[in-house]
Structure formats: C-alpha cells, structure tokens
Amino acid sequence: MQVTDLVRYNHVVRGLYLDAMAKLPWAAVVEPKGLSFDSMRNVFLHLTFVEDRWINYIIPDRLSQ
C-alpha cells in the first residue's frame, strides 16, 4: 500500500466520521464513552492531528522541525 493511498483512505473515513457526528446532538458528541480519546469529538480531533502530522511532517520528512 502506498502512503498516499493510506492518507486518502483516512481522509475519506474522517469525513464520514464528521458527517455521522453532525447528525447527533452536541451532548452525545462530547459525552465520555470510554473510548481511547474519551469522546467522539476527541477521537475525531486525534485523527485530524494525525493526518496533519503525516501530511505536513512525516511525508515531507520534516519530523525534526
């Protein structure tokens, strides 16, 4: 699998996750659920930060910056 394929896949999945959260009341999105990052919002933020790090640091080999 190419890294670009993985980034594209994660980008699509993150969009689907956002669409699903948009249909829920905010209280349900931020409610602690015992997930790895507690709430659905925090899981989404984690996925966003990871994608940002891949695109802006790891892929262009700028991790030391």
What does the pLDDT read at residue 57?
77
Give the count of alpha carbons within 13 A of 50, CB side only. Answer: 11
In whole angstroms, give the CA distance from residue 14 to residue 25.
18
Domain range list for the chain: 3-58
- Give tens-digit pLDDT for 25-63: 999 999 999 878 899 999 999 989 988 888 887 777 765
